[in-house]
């Protein structure tokens, strides 16, 4: 499989990509869609007020905030922030005004409470 490059993602190039439903209030563009036990890389576009309920990371997850602000129990992460969520960490994620993130995970997360 050859290398793949995406131009100017950090400068809004993500706007040219096609998105599909991911979960309530969040759409996704898969840059690399792995299976249930494989790494994935995607752009997630959160509408204002959207979030992901409390979940546990079973492998490393890396996030780069491309636009807006993503928040969790530890703080607010503005555009340009890089967030590392190591194995065993738990949190929920939300955005007040919407955000776009580049996300890479080695394995999918385990949702702990879908009601929140």
- With the CA atoms of 89, 84, 75 and 70 taken in that order, what torsion angle do they form, in degrees rounded to the nearest 10? -110
Domain assignment present for 83: yes
User: Which segments in the chain show pLDDT lower than 50?
Assistant: 116
Grouping H, G, I as helix, E, B as strand and the rest as coil, residue 86 is: coil
Question: Which pTM value belongs to this model?
Answer: 0.92
Residue 91 is predicted with a pLDDT of 93
Residue 79 is predicted with a pLDDT of 97
Domain assignment present for 65: yes
Residue 1 is predicted with a pLDDT of 60
- With the CA atoms of 109, 110, 114 and 116 taken in that order, what torsion angle do they form, in degrees rounded to the nearest 10? -70
Residue 32 is predicted with a pLDDT of 93
Domain assignment present for 25: no
Q: How far apart are CA 116 and CA 5, in angstroms?
A: 36
Residue 95 is predicted with a pLDDT of 98
Residue 25 is predicted with a pLDDT of 98
Domain assignment present for 38: yes
Q: How far apart are CA 95 and CA 76, in angstroms?
A: 9
Residue 37 is predicted with a pLDDT of 87
Q: Which domain holds residue 38?
A: 30-103
Distance of CA 40 to the CA centre of its chain: 10
CATH number of the structural domain spanning residue 47: 2.60.120.10
């Amino acid at each position: 499989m050859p290398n793949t490059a995406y131009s100017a993602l950090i400068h809004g190039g993500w706007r040219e990509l096609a998105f599909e439903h991911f979960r309530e209030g969040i759409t996704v563009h898969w840059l690399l869609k792995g299976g249930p036990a494989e790494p994935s890389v995607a752009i997630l576009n959160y509408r204002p007020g959207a979030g992901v309920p409390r979940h546990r990371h079973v492998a490393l997850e890396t996030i780069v905030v491309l636009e807006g602000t993503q928040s969790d129990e530890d703080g607010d992460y503005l555009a340009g922030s890089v967030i590392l969520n190591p194995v065993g960490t738990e949190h929920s994620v939300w955005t007040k005004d919407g955000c776009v993130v580049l996300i890479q995970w080695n394995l999918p997360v385990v949702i702990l409470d879908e009601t929140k």
